[in-house]
Each structure stands twice: as structure tokens, then as C-alpha cells.
Amino acid sequence: MICDEAFLPLVPNGEEQSLIDLVSLHSNLVVIRSLTKLYGIAGLRLGYAVAQPERLQRWARWRDPWPVNAVASAVGQALLRRPKRYQAWLQRVQRWTAREGSWLHQQLAALPGITPMPSAANYLLIRGERNGEPYSLQPLREALETRHRILLRDCRSFEGLDETWLRIGYQSRRGNRRIIRAMRQELSSISNPASN
């Protein structure tokens, strides 16, 4: 059983929901974490696994000989070397996530045809919905990419989701305003094609 807790540190009181404490009781449990989400260093692909020692030793025999490149390793060591700085950063990110998430959710809910889902992480799932009926958000995603250079995550590869869903990662307030303005403009064009 693998539990992906990559986004859990971004959630206020998220550690209370972690399964790490259960690892000692269950030999088949592996909890994976990511530093890339918390520190915004996605290009480094840096994370870790928590499991019973025997399972980790087995993984060490199966994995690539160089699972982490030298740059990612150095950055990871530097980030984790100071636990007090880590805790301060964690609290800062959690406050930012709560503030931006609330603001972005409110702005998205005011857009026609968009239903944002509740979120405690640093992204929101939105669904295309008009008059209670789902509709594809792919034209919106494509227009945002081509006309505004804004990339929203296509959710069709997520099990249970389809073309009616998109994921929006939080940006700075300025970036989030830019996303909202572009979405408002494109949603207006989509619902009123004669205005183009």
C-alpha cells in the first residue's frame, strides 16, 4: 500500500492526517513525500519514502543506481539541514496556501460555468457546469494556452475525471489575477461566439 502525501505539508495541521506513524505497524505500508511541492522546485524531482527498513532495503536493490542527481541531492540537504527554518517555511507556505486558495476559490466561483471544488492544497480542481449540466473545459484550456500563455492541467488522465475538469495551481496574487482575467475573457467569448 502506497500513500502519496506529496501535498500534505501544504495543508494546515496536515501532519495530523499523515500515515507515517502507522508504518511501524504495517510492513506493507509505504508513505511517499515530495520536497518539490513544498519548496516549489518541481524541476529537481526530489522526494523520499518512509517504510519499514526491510522494504526500503528491497527497494534499494531494485531502484536505479542514481535515483537522485547531485544538484537535487545538494539542494535537498541544504533545505533539510535547518529544521527551524523548515518549520518557519512550512508555516509561511500553509498561510499562503490558505489565503490564496480562499481568494482564488471565491474568484472562480463568480465566473459563469465554473464550479471550483474545495481544496486544502496549493491547487484547485474546477468543473465546467452550465445549468447543472457538465461541459468540456478543453476549449477554455486551449484558448488560455494559445492566446494567454497560461497552462492549466488537463485532468483527463486522472481516473474518474474527464474533459469537464481542469486543475489550477496557485500563483502569486498577480498571477492569479491574470488567470482570472483571461478566464473571464475566454468564457465570455465561448458563451457569446458572435462577439469574437
Q: Contact, 150 vs 182, CB < 8 A? A: yes
The pLDDT mean for the chain works out to 90
What is the fold, at CATH topology level, of the domain defined by 87-195?
Answer: Aspartate Aminotransferase, domain 1 (3.90.1150)
Query: Model confidence at 192, in pLDDT bands (50, 70, 90)?
Result: low
pLDDT tens digits along 82-138: 889 888 888 898 899 999 999 999 999 999 999 999 998 889 999 999 888 999 999
Neighbours of 101 (CB within 10 A): 21
Fold of 2-81: Aspartate Aminotransferase; domain 2 (3.40.640)
Enumerate the CATH 3.40.640.10 domain ranges in the chain, comma separated: 2-81
Residue range(s) in the chain whose domain bears CATH number 3.90.1150.10: 87-195
Contact 115, 109 (CB under 8 A): yes
Compute the distance between CA of residue 108 and CA of residue 100 in angstroms, rounded to an integer.
12
| Strand 30-34 relative to strand 2-4, pairing | parallel
CA distance linking residue 25 with residue 3, whole number of Å: 15
pTM above 0.75, yes or no: yes
